[in-house]
Amino acid sequence: MEKFIVDGPAKLIGHVMIAGAKNVALKALVASLLTDEDIIIKNVPHIRDVHLMLEVLGHLGKHAALTGSTVTITKNSSHTCTVPLEVGARLRTSSMVLGPLLSRYGKAIIPNPGGCRIGARPIDRHIDGLKAMGASISYTSDDGYFHAEAKELHGAEITFEKNTHTGTETILLAAILAKGTTTLHNAAEEVEVDNLIDLLQHMGAHIKRTGKREIVIEGVSSLHSAEFEIMPDRNEEVTFAVAAIASTGDITVHNSRRQYLGAFLEALTKAGGGYEAIDAESTRYFYKEALTAVDVTTEIYPGFMTDWQAPWALLMTQAKGESVVHETVFENRFTYVEELKKMGARITYFDPDIKNPEEFYNFNWNDRPVDTHQAIRITGPTNLHNAVLSINDLRAGATLLLATIIGSGKSYLYGIEQVDRGYEHIEKRLCALGAHIDRVTEDAIS
């Protein structure tokens, strides 16, 4: 295992290329299971989760070659329908192979993706949708696997009780080769879902958005080869934007998709952060003036995304006044707060008075552990100082890395494999902007 040793403070200045979107790349790789023909996916980020997904495809009869940022997926051997427990437990999205395996082979055995550090993250909405299409799925806790079977997946009318990004994608991946028409109501509208739909259409799928939060899929008998470039990562862009402004620096982001960052750019402007459109695919983020506190509430697309709330909270530690971050999508997404408080951040927890929390929050209300809260209050500005920090999840990890860059002194960050899950060569790119980060083995003394 490795750790980061970071010397702060540092001002981050320069240019950075945004990598391909993790939350499209993983599903694009799953989509390759829908055909025996070759699939070429471009702009795939070199991140741990992608390497794990390539391992999953290897177990399912595919050969995947990653050259640069292009993955070429070909049929390797006879298919199997089981995702091994060890790799499935390390990659939640491996459960999404359910749809393609059931529609092509009528069988799938996948590990329970289970919770992770940001909440229970069950897949009940995915399972309910697949059952409506004719699948029988049971979970046997004695082996930790979901056992799924379907004589023939058929089209269905499915309404999600609450938004689910990967749930929407799981049903899309199942409906494409199912018999008949599937109509999805209350379907997710995140732009990453649209990018996956674009790929599937390139492969010959008949899918279209027919209204607000509604998608219709006409089942087809087979799909064909395709070559496709995935969109850049919105979460990376927000991370580098916060890095620029929190470090009082100036970073021009290339492969920018600011048209999908509306809620973030609105909050950033209100807080006094600077950004400038350089051209259609480049945006300059820069420290303009002393920041002022701005409240955010996370929401489904096109609202302020839950993946952006941790970096935003860090930015608010540098803003004058008191700000609130209200997390409504996941039930335990403040794992970074205690770590920021070790650096001197002034943050308290509270629960906003919500009339009907069961409906209001996106997670299943009963999944909520008793000792968590849905909001934090941040008082700033605070000069953060060095600390020894532990990383619990991906976006928290990126946030804590940025905190040690803007904080004064030498900091030590453990659990950095979490950051590697979703950020390509993160320390190389940050050091090129002026950060001082060393990646060393955990037991190295320095």
Q: Which residue bears the tokens 């950020």?
A: 423
Under rule CB under 6 A, which residues in 18-47 are in contact with ligand EPZ? 22-23, 26
Residue 304 Cα to chain centre, angstroms: 14
Angle at 206 between CA 201 and CA 212, to 5 degrees: 95
Could you tell me the smallest distance in angstroms from the CB atom of residue 165 to ligand EPZ? 3
Could you tell me the smallest distance in angstroms from the CB atom of residue 373 to ligand EPZ? 15
How far apart are alpha carbons 347 and 400 in whole angstroms? 15
Longest dimension (CA), the chain: 63
Binding mask 355-394 for ligand EPZ (x = CB under 6 A): -------xxx-----------------------------x
| # residues near ligand EPZ by CB under 6 A | 28
The answer to whether residue 195 forms part of the interface with ligand EPZ (CB under 6 A) is no
Residue (8 or 119) nearer to ligand EPZ, CB: 119
Going by DSSP bridges, is the β-strand pair 388-390/409-414 parallel, antiparallel, or unpaired?
Answer: parallel
The answer to whether residue 90 forms part of the interface with ligand EPZ (CB under 6 A) is no
What are the CA-CA distances from residue 378 to residues 189, 249, 326, 350, 392 (Å)? 30, 22, 11, 11, 20
The answer to whether residue 415 forms part of the interface with ligand EPZ (CB under 6 A) is no
Residues paired with 87 in a beta bridge: none
How far apart are alpha carbons 196 and 185 in whole angstroms? 18
Could you tell me the smallest distance in angstroms from the CB atom of residue 190 to ligand EPZ? 5
Going by DSSP bridges, is the β-strand pair 2-8/436-441 parallel, antiparallel, or unpaired?
Answer: antiparallel
Helix 48-59, helix 22-31: angle, nearest 10: 10
Under rule CB under 6 A, which residues in 149-178 are in contact with ligand EPZ? 163-167
How far apart are alpha carbons 373 and 369 in whole angstroms? 9
Could you tell me the smallest distance in angstroms from the CB atom of residue 290 to ligand EPZ? 30
Binding mask 124-143 for ligand EPZ (x = CB under 6 A): xxx-----------------
The answer to whether residue 330 forms part of the interface with ligand EPZ (CB under 6 A) is yes
The residues assigned a catalytic role are 116
3-state secondary structure of 276: strand
The answer to whether residue 190 forms part of the interface with ligand EPZ (CB under 6 A) is yes
Residue (275 or 363) nearer to ligand EPZ, CB: 363
Residue (319 or 396) nearer to ligand EPZ, CB: 396
Interface contacts to ligand EPZ, rule CB under 6 A: 22-23, 26, 93, 119-126, 163-167, 190, 306-307, 329-330, 362-364, 394-395, 422
